[in-house]
Amino acid sequence: MSRKIFKKYGYDISLDEGVGAHLICWVTGLMIFFVTLMMAVNFGLSSITQSWVTGLSGTMTVEISPPLPSAEEEKISHKSRKKFNNIIKDVLTLLKDNVAVSEARLLSEKEVENLIEPWMGQSITLDGLPLPALIDIKLVPNADTKALRNSLKTLDPTVTLDSHIDTLDGIRTLVNTATLFMMLLTSVIIALAIVIISGIVRSKMLIHQAEVETLHLIGASDEYIARQFRRHTLRGTLKGALYGLVCTFITLFIICYITRTVGGDIFPRPYLTPSQWTALLLLPITVGSLIAHLTAQATVLKELSQLP
């Protein structure tokens, strides 16, 4: 029985002994940790972008600038306030009559304050600050926003229509840049892992040179010898991947905890879909194992080809 197990899982070469026997485990563990973490951050960023894009697309915001007190006045005059209120009424009427708009809602002062508060902080009082009037509008599909913008401008030049395109473009550019950077970093990590694994396998071949030569001389094929290194590397990789994944999920838990307590009002909460969680669990292990497996195979075969 024990011999059967040896034959199935053991090695003819004492790969589990000697210097650096578990180096592959740590190297691949680190690789998997960084790659999984970057994937998770990438997925998280995508979900934030998605929630912003979904929340903002098909909507627009009409902003009516508040009247400002003149240099001689401390407060806004009653006349200016009345004019401001009239503009709001006129804009709402225009919006309700416009075919491009399906829904228009004036945000209350409290809602406007809530929007500003995360940026200003709770300690600053907003009383007396000239706040703009904001009207959230929902558009019908394929709405003519240009005509709507012109109508609003004609009504009053202080009325502006924010289509959020600039904001969305900015977010997209930021997220795309971050994604590209992470992909680049992942490529560097993979390339480094290949070089390191290859180096470790080569070192192990040197350490166990006498055993490798003996196997070679008694008629072991290159494939037979390579299989032993491959199996050892794969076992180390899977073990390392497991450690790496555990560390990643602990780190993600900490990041989630921190983002919930800091800046939770500014940023939407990142959300990962079940398929993204599955990808996080399986993709780094699969790709990592494949890379380690192929690197070990190629390195051993290359080294063995130098034997007669």
Residues making contact with other proteins (CB under 8 A): 3-4, 6-7, 12-14, 17, 210-211, 213-222, 224, 305, 308
For 107-185, list the strands marked E by DSSP: 133-139, 159-162
Q: How far is the CB of 203 from other proteins (least distance, A)?
A: 18
The pair of three-digit structure tokens given for residue 216, joined into one six-digit string: 């070679």
CA-CA distance, 230 to 228, in Å (whole number)? 5
Residues 98/149, Cβ–Cβ less than 8 Å: no
Contacts of 139 (CB under 8 A, 6+ apart): 58, 59, 60, 100, 101, 102, 145
Q: How far is the CB of 257 from other proteins (least distance, A)?
A: 47
Question: Whose Cβ is closer to other proteins: residue 87's or residue 212's?
Answer: 212
Q: How far is the CB of 224 from other proteins (least distance, A)?
A: 5
Q: How far is the CB of 230 from other proteins (least distance, A)?
A: 16
Question: Whose Cβ is closer to other proteins: residue 14's or residue 187's?
Answer: 14
Question: Whose Cβ is closer to other proteins: residue 103's or residue 223's?
Answer: 223
From the number of C-beta atoms within 10 Å of its C-beta (0-12, 13-18, 19+), residue 191 rates as exposed
Question: Whose Cβ is closer to other proteins: residue 156's or residue 303's?
Answer: 303
Question: Whose Cβ is closer to other proteins: residue 12's or residue 156's?
Answer: 12
157-187 burial, b at 16+ Cβ within 10 Å, e below that, comes to eebebebbeeeeeebeeebeebbeebeeebe
Question: Whose Cβ is closer to other proteins: residue 13's or residue 152's?
Answer: 13
Q: How far is the CB of 200 from other proteins (least distance, A)?
A: 19
125-154 burial, b at 16+ Cβ within 10 Å, e below that, comes to eeeeeeebbbbebebeeebeeeebbebbee
Q: How far is the CB of 185 from other proteins (least distance, A)?
A: 40
